[in-house]
Amino acid sequence: MQLTDFNTLVFDCYGTLMDWESGMVKALEPLTHRLANPPSRNTILETHARYEARQQAQTPAKLYPEILAIVYKRLAEEWGLSVPWSECVAYGQSIKAWPAFPDSANALHYLKQHYKLVILSNIDNESFAASNAQLGVTFDAIYTAQDIGSYKPHDANFEYMITMLASLGIARSDILHTAESLFHDHQPANRHDLKSCWIHRRYDQEGFGATMHPGEMPGYDFRFNSLAEMVAAHQQALA
C-alpha cells in the first residue's frame, strides 16, 4: 500500500494541523499561574482531556467553545480555584488564537495538488474558520461536530463523513483518514473500515496529552511524525 493509492485525505484538525496543546496551555495560564505548585504540562493536558471527553459525551449538542467553558470551570474546581463565568467563556473563545503547526500550511498546499482535502473535526464552524485562515488552504469539504450534533469518537461523525463523501463520488476505499488522535480518530476509523495515517505529533513526549488514552491500540496503515514527513513520503512514492 502506498500514499498514492488514495485520492482523498480526511484530516482531523486540532492536534493534527493546529497545535491545540500549546494553545490550550497558553490559554489556561489565568488558572495555572494562580497555583502555588502548577501541574506539569502533560498533567494539565491529561486532566483537560478527561473533562473534555466526559462533557462531549454528556452534552453533544453544545458547541465546542461552550464545551471548553465548562471544562475550564471543572479544572478550576479541581484545582481549588473560584473563577467568574466570563473567564470560562473567554477560554472557550481562545480557539481562534490557537496556532497552526509550523509545517501544516505548506504541507496542505502541496497535498492539495494531489488529493481532495476534507476536514472532520470536533469543532464549530466559526472557530474553524479562524483556524482555516491560518492554514490558508481551501478544503473540498468541512464536517464539524456542529454540523453533525455529536463528537468524535462517536460513530455518527464517521457515518456522516462517509455518506457525505459518497454523495460527492468519493468511495470509502478512496479515503485516507489522517489524524494524530488514536482515541478520537484511529479507533473509529478501524470500526468503519477506513485506511488511516497516524501523524504522531507527540512522538517525543510521554502519554496522550489532550486526548484520552485509547485503551487497546488501534491499527493504522501509515505513520509519520509530522506532515512534512508525510509530504516527503508522498514525493518518494511519486518518484
* Catalytic positions: 12
Residue appearing with cell numbers 470551570: 73
- Cα torsion at 64, 207, 182, 120 (round to 10°)? 30
Give the distance between the most distant pair of CA atoms in the chain. Answer: 59
Residue appearing with cell numbers 462533557: 55
Cα–Cα distance for residue pair 38/182, rounded to 1 Å:
28
**DSSP structural state of residue 14:** B
Task: Label residue 76 exposed, middle or buried (CB < 10 Å: 0-12, 13-18, 19+).
Answer: buried
- With H, G, I as helix, E, B as strand and everything else as coil, classify residue 210: coil
- With H, G, I as helix, E, B as strand and everything else as coil, classify residue 143: strand
Cα–Cα distance for residue pair 152/170, rounded to 1 Å:
21
Q: Which three cell numbers stand for residue 145?
A: 461536530
